[in-house]
Chain A
Amino acid sequence: MDRLFAKTPCAGQLPLSIGGMTVSEVELGPMTALSPRKGQGAALAGALGAAHGLDWPGAGRATAAGDARAIWFGHDSVLLTGAAPDAALAGPGVLVDQSDAWTVVRLDGTGAEAVLARLVPVDLRAPGFGTGATARCRIGHMAGSVTRLETGGFLLMVFRSMAQTLLHDLKSAMEAVAARG
């Protein structure tokens, strides 16, 4: 065991550009799942605001403050990314380290919505899914998370072990959309 180097889930395979659309890997930094203890929802939301300046996101919403994001991640669950969780969160909340557990990529370009329409059974078009919107849903056959970024692109997350499948699905969908011109 001489020197070990951390590899990202998509190391050496991204960015990938096809037909004006680009998939690139995102390193969000520390990722922590936050869940309130019973009856402690308001206290945990208050602690998140005080420590990280983030609003507690309601269902289907994501909030940001600088590099830190709070992404709604399911029933009674929010994913804090880009910041190590403040110790004050551990009182009213249950914290689970998720760093390294997820493949995180972003999809940008004018055809991004058409690509995801082939993979995600949720309407992700801008009027109903604008900046700050997020969904837990299928991406291909995988359970994932889709978030609309401030730049108009999408942040996609699946389990780390499924990185190859995600890239294969995205590549196939991008090629199909690009072929339609």
Chain B
Amino acid sequence: MRITCPHCGDRDSREFSYKGHALALERPAPDAGAEAWDDYVHLRENPAGETRDLWHHHFGCGAWLVVTRNTLTHDVLGCELASEARR
């Protein structure tokens, strides 16, 4: 599996560490309520198909990345900086 880092280019996946779903970029407001926070902290989709993950390029540029990949085909479909994906 290879990931194309926006800074470093095409690199082996062993240079990256996996964080989890990119849902982590959509943190609820502090007063959003227990239900929203329960969803944010505990509940995850398990998609058969496209998903967006957070990866950290710890052996390279140190950037957090949002990687779009397909869990059925293992295709890596895209990669962008988390700082830009969040906007």
Contact = CB atoms under 8 A, between A and B. Distances in A.
Partners in one complex: yes
Interface of A: 59-60, 74-75, 77, 121-122, 135-138, 143
Interface of B: 6-9, 11-12, 15, 57-63, 81, 83
Given A59-B7, A75-B7, 6 more contacts: A75-B62, A122-B11, A135-B8, A135-B60, A137-B8, A143-B58
Nearest to A38: B83
B2 to A, nearest CB: 10
A148 to B, nearest CB: 15
Given A59-B7, A60-B7, A121-B11, A75 B59 contact: no
The dominant DSSP class at the B interface is loop
A77 B8 contact: no
A33 B6 CA distance: 21
B59 A143 contact: yes
A74 B5 CA distance: 12
A162 B15 CA distance: 18
Contacts of B9: 60
Contacts of B60: 74, 135-137, 143
B58 to A, nearest CB: 7
Minimum-distance CB pairs A-B, first 4: A75-B63, A59-B7, A74-B62, A74-B61
A72 to B, nearest CB: 8
B62 A59 contact: no
